Structure 1
């Protein structure tokens, strides 16, 4: 993989994040039929859909969302992604969607959950049931989250897929367990092949754990170390591995952890501070536990991550220092109570 030293603008960033690997091209050749991305309007959806189109130019790639963001639909269409506006909470809208053999499910709700828990459960549990019932004969690779796991010791490599997702903190995390259970139920009922992608913190220059820490360093804001460790992965690789998972589905569906090795927030803050020429303001003490996952099964399937932490730190420091665009969507990685 040939990587740039920095990203001069958003167009270049999104071009790199949507560049498929040879492994993805080969895997999608082995997967018959067209592809539909449900919830394409989120943070990762647009570059994932573009990557699928570039990796498999002979397939239809369909993006489904409400398209409330101005210009997104036109942008995706310019890259060859067919767009359908639909509310996934509507059975009637789902019924009108085309039958396709391959689905990447990206819909969900996290931020704003506190105070609107009812909507979070509807999006994270009810919609997956509607989708799984509507597409019983499709491969369904569904985004989940590392938040379904309990906290584990920071001296470990993290939770593996066989750790039961029992009693994670907060309603959001529990609604994500329900999302998985809905896909599992219908997969068992209809023998639907799939994967549940337990993603931990994809890194884009415009958001993510490294972006959050870098912005706090520049603003001289305190960086809470209580959640002292996390897993991160370059979003381009997260897109790539998610799409490759279509060639590695199981029936019934099964979880797959997806992220990079664990990082220490203290070390990241110091490293970014050195690149930015600013001493970070650190506060608090590291707890003995954190949300950490072991992605060794993904590495077995796809190989280890190719974009290193040092590269992501270089990119992040350059982007933030130059005043690059921010999505204004903090990850709240430091939250230990599960409230978002």
Structure 2
């Protein structure tokens, strides 16, 4: 069954149901991918969002070869992908010789990178977020490359505005976000040098019921923990929608590569989100901090023009998340740290 706004479930009953929902393609995704020739290879497939992208690609194009590449330090991820018909290759992307042995797939989704714990080893963060992209861009000069980035490359912008557009010059706080600019610059440089088509996929924040900004807020509300509202507003998007837009970008690449903001089209107040969860849990949220007039926010008008609005809207996301958290369903245990204001993750 294809995914549409008309057939979304009222609740997501289990992890298996969640995985299946995330991997249900829309007709628009299938149509765009049918405009793209050749295999699809996902580099860094073993992260939180990579399995969704791979499974969605395979569901949309069951006859097409979809390849997932990672170190696979977590063996169950490899088994999960292979059970869905995705070919897996173990590879350390820090190893230039190993990269050279990978298939020369005409379509690449680049998802490798480092965020959590970035402050603990900044040299490794820069190597993963800037050096590895340079190796990959040189190894695949003829491929179309959609490279995951982050909305954190922008400076903070007023919460009363429409969010940063792709024309806003990157100027973020913190070395993590600066290293993400390094990632983008490497893909830009080699795209200009080789004429490699691509997109720089500036995402914030993807919502999987096991993690994400909404999961963080809902969990704190139900546990009676204080919610820091210093970063007072956010953008969020259902992970299935974000994954679909990443794959659809393969049909909308530029040469040289160019950025595109990916998130929900609404700017959401953290306090209001917490109050909505509080109403569902019948528990008054506890707040800390003072709202600042600026935040990391993006304007997604370009994405909406190319792809339309996300299939799953914010009210549905709040309902799914509240139900999931209330039933003490599994969590990845990885806070997004959306409330961090100085860029030190």
TM more than 0.5: yes
Q: Supply the distance in 2 between the matched residues of 1:232 and 1:210 (Cα, whole angstroms).
A: 8
Residues 239-258 of structure 1 correspond to what in structure 2 (within 5 A)?
239-258=243-262
Matched, 1:58 2:25: no
TM-score (normalised: structure 1): 0.99
Matched, 1:113 2:104: no
Shift of 1:330: 0.1
- Listed as ranges, the gaps of 5+ residues in structure 2 are none
Which residue is equivalent to 1:39? 44
Q: Supply the distance in 2 between the matched residues of 1:315 and 1:66 (Cα, whole angstroms).
A: 32
What SS class does the counterpart of residue 71 from structure 1 fall into? helix
Shift of 1:307: 1.1
Which residue is equivalent to 1:129? 134
Root mean square deviation, CA, Å: 0.6
Which residue is equivalent to 2:341? 336
Which residue is equivalent to 1:194? 198
Q: Supply the distance in 2 between the matched residues of 1:335 and 1:8 (Cα, whole angstroms).
A: 32
After superposition, give the CA deviation of every residue in 1:267-301 in whole Å (9 maximum; x if it has no partner).
Answer: 00000011111110012211010000000000000
Give the counterpart of 1:265 among 263, 270, 280: 270
Matched, 1:237 2:241: yes
Matched, 1:206 2:213: no
Q: Supply the distance in 1 between the matched residues of 2:120 and 2:56 (Cα, whole angstroms).
A: 36
Shift of 1:59: 1.2
After superposition, give the CA deviation of every residue in 1:178-197 in whole Å (9 maximum; x if it has no partner).
Answer: 00000000000000000000
Matched, 1:149 2:154: yes
Give the counterpart of 1:81 among 67, 70, 86: 86
117-126 or 308-317, which deviates more: 308-317
Which residue is equivalent to 2:28? 23
Shift of 1:160: 0.2
Shift of 1:306: 2.2
Q: Supply the distance in 2 between the matched residues of 1:210 and 1:130 (Cα, whole angstroms).
A: 35
Q: Supply the distance in 2 between the matched residues of 1:172 and 1:265 (Cα, whole angstroms).
A: 23
Matched, 1:285 2:255: no
Shift of 1:233: 0.3
Matched, 1:177 2:181: yes
Q: Which aligned runs of 4 or more in structure 1 are off by greater than 2 angstroms?
A: none
Shift of 1:202: 0.4
Matched, 1:69 2:74: yes
Give the counterpart of 1:298 among 290, 294, 303: 303
Matched, 1:218 2:222: yes
- Listed as ranges, the gaps of 5+ residues in structure 1 are none
Q: Supply the distance in 2 between the matched residues of 1:75 and 1:58 (Cα, whole angstroms).
A: 19
Q: Supply the distance in 2 between the matched residues of 1:278 and 1:311 (Cα, whole angstroms).
A: 20
Which residue is equivalent to 2:143? 138
Q: Supply the distance in 1 between the matched residues of 2:183 and 2:189 (Cα, whole angstroms).
A: 10
Q: Supply the distance in 1 between the matched residues of 2:274 and 2:75 (Cα, whole angstroms).
A: 35
Q: Supply the distance in 1 between the matched residues of 2:293 and 2:269 (Cα, whole angstroms).
A: 12
After superposition, give the CA deviation of every residue in 1:142-194 in whole Å (9 maximum; x if it has no partner).
Answer: 0000000000001001000001112x100000000000000000000000000
Q: Supply the distance in 2 between the matched residues of 1:48 and 1:85 (Cα, whole angstroms).
A: 18
After superposition, give the CA deviation of every residue in 1:198-245 in whole Å (9 maximum; x if it has no partner).
Answer: 001000100000000011011111101110000000001001011000
Shift of 1:115: 2.4
